[in-house]
Structure 1
């Protein structure tokens, strides 16, 4: 049996294990170990090669980005800056048709710029925005759909955990990925807002009968009090990266320190809540870092088997062309999003596809953006739309079913497909700021 055949069997075994319910990193590690063992003929050599892969992953400088940005995100969430973002956005958009929905999108965009975790956005705004929207006449289906749709902004607007993960997997500049995420992220937020206004005008049965006239306006002093801490964090983190003052790792550290100082100074954090934040950060960081180590092992097995090179040759022989490969790749990512979580999709597909797309001289920064966009669509699609499940668990309301949330999120998934098409057709949306 050739190494190529062994690699294909390892991929098949991994797919079966994941579908059977095995934790994705464990499936990656086990299948990678067995695959390298079969290729090299020695379990000792296989264990040494995979241990070296794990060591290389941990010793990477950018490995430190993950815990720092996760810590900042949880501090921001615990300190209640999500509610501040919601109040500020509502004050800005309250006069629009569907203003509370647009305000939720705006709040998610602001929150995304200081957290980078979609699940955190979904949980926070389910508690804040959904009750407000239902109270003011929006249908539960539409209210939960708005939160589900806009929560994905956390994975596109920098800082983004998925962009960090792609940067580590593809060995690309995380700072460049952050800059490239600004255009598509803002475009998504604008299209979501336009879609909400259009739905409020043309599909009133779906949206409901919102009565936003009684939403109180915030005094200017209160507005500044809520907006300034958020703005200062965004300027500190993103401004520091774009101005060249901080590396992404340093920016994560400064953001975490800034959020901590603001939280305690404003009386919103206690030692007890800080302990909760540290525990949650440790759990998420351990999970993500375990994923990265497993991905490095998987990449080594693929390189030894020659599967990516073989797939590249097959694509060349099939004469699929540039657009054929990119469109098939996006379709596969979206389809996998229906059954797997975002990180797992990237861990499986990115190492497999990089050797195929690099010889085609595809801009890997742009490739990372379209990968994250396509992965995000899977957050909203059944049966495994993780944002939808987070919203359902956070609501704990038997009258709002998973089907209702999926139907509410469907228009936003279609809008994301439109934005993905635009970024595919006009790469400058992502890469223009880099030039």
Structure 2
């Protein structure tokens, strides 16, 4: 009972700090200080300095700014302008036609940016005006974009997987590889839904895109995308093959991204500085949150709260499936008010001991957690993708959320599938060399 009261007090203080508008990193650090001061005999200052230093010198963390930099450079290239024309010839004959450009485009850009909001903004700027002009159903245009943009959190190189790997001391390389098949699974679910919907509503899909292209013509139209796709395959392939660490692959990716931007004519002094400053701002924000989260994790360890909570959960005799159901509801609720990275760093210190006590693989749990966090990106009131799309279209956010609802349910179906068939997550990491 003491453990429950301690947890409730710390949770109440955290919620009060966040509601007051205090930065997440400061809130996490403050909760760690409160926990150590009131519920342990460990000196706060010594623990704070040690935790901050140990969290800052992690070599795995070096991959974070590199992948962000790669995405920032390509984000400012002509890729977004060429994405539509490069993908359209391949999907013109598929049921749903050009609606699939949102799904495929988001899948490609997700592997570049690692950010859900950036994916929604970039693809949305290109696809929403074009698909609207061609007469596609507005609800499906918004829904496919909102749902598919969440892939930015899962498809490697994923920023949130790096955050989870650093926070839980899991292999980032194995997490990246574990995210490939679930990412493809979600894209297939989205595309399948669009195909079924279009066949049930043929009048809602314009008939004007029946132009046929030969295979050579399709390749010609897609030529600007080929170097970027090869870059993605090279980065992930080098990690999967054990040829390079995530940090080394990220460094090579940054160099090649600059080369592609220069060859494409979009590299200038201004774009270089903008990409660099964007990288510094994003990386600093995430690293600051991680430092606070590491201190909170250390503090929780000294108080013994995670261990006692795990023991308490065990006394409830919940099956692993029931535990995952409870956690899914918890993460969806939490994701309604916090962004994905904050959800991960706030919960891992307390949740992971329970998960491991239930016999759940932390690697699998990382992918599960990211997919559930994806769902929160399209749930009001703090669904980041919803805000991005609202900003692009001026639509009411509830209308955007309603359009995204089928894709929320499809992501939930993805969670069910990886739970029933965990090999979807663990197969590729199991093939990697140790």
TM-score (normalizing by structure 1)? 0.93
2:117, 2:388 within 8 Å by CA — same for their partners in 1? Answer: yes
Q: Which residue of 1 aligns with 2:168?
A: 170
Q: 1:221 to 1:364 in 2, by over 3 A?
A: closer
User: For residues 215 and 117 of structure 1, do their structure 2 counterparts lie closer, same or farther at Cα, with a shift above 3 Å needed?
Assistant: farther
Contact 1:338 1:384 in 2 (8 A): yes
Pairs within 5 Å for 1:274-353: 274-353=272-351
1:268-323 Cα offsets, whole Å, 9 max, x none, are 11111111111111110011001100110110111111111111111111111222
Change (3 A) 1:99 1:24: same
Shift of 1:335: 1.5
SS at 1:245 equivalent: coil
2:5 is aligned with 1:9: no
Cα deviation, residue 84, structure 1 = 3.1
Give secondary structure in 2 for the equivalent of 1:246: coil
Which stretch shows the higher mean deviation, 6-15 or 269-278?
6-15
Shift of 1:118: 1.2
**What's the offset of the Cα at 1:74?**
0.9
Q: SS state of the match for residue 113, structure 2?
A: coil
With 172-181 and 227-236 compared, the bigger mean Cα shift is at 227-236
Which ranges in structure 1 are unaligned for 5 or more consecutive residues? none
What is the distance in 2 between the residues matched to 1:158 and 1:277? 20
The partner residue of 2:113 within 109, 112, 115 is: 115
1:416 maps to: 411
Alignment pair present for 1:32 and 2:27: no
Q: Give 3-state SS (helix, strand or coil) of 1:388's partner.
A: helix
Q: Of the candidates 209, 232, 244, which is equivalent to residue 213 of structure 1?
A: 209
State the secondary structure of the residue aligned to 1:285.
helix
Deviations 1:137-171 (A, max 9, x none): 11333212211111011111111111111111110
Q: Which residue of 2 aligns with 1:158?
A: 156
Per the TM alignment, residue 3 of structure 1 is displaced from its structure 2 partner at its CA by 7.6
Could you tell me how far apart the structure 1 residues matched to 2:2 and 2:41 are? 12
> Quick one: distance in 2 between partners of 1:385 and 1:135?
27
Instruction: List alignment gaps of at least 5 residues for structure 2.
Output: none
Q: How far is 1:51 from its partner?
A: 1.6
The size of the alignment, in residue pairs, is 428
- In 1, the alpha carbon distance for the partners of 2:149 and 2:4 equals 40
Matches within 5 A, 1:188-203: 188-203=186-201
CA 1:133–1:14 in 2, change beyond 3 Å: closer, same or farther?
A: same
1:180 maps onto 2:175 in alignment: no
Q: Does 1:429 align with 2:424?
A: yes
For the aligned residue pairs, the C-alpha RMSD in angstroms reads: 2.0
SS in 2 for 1:324: helix
Classify the secondary structure of the residue corresponding to 1:368: helix
TM-score, normalised by the number of residues in structure 2: 0.94
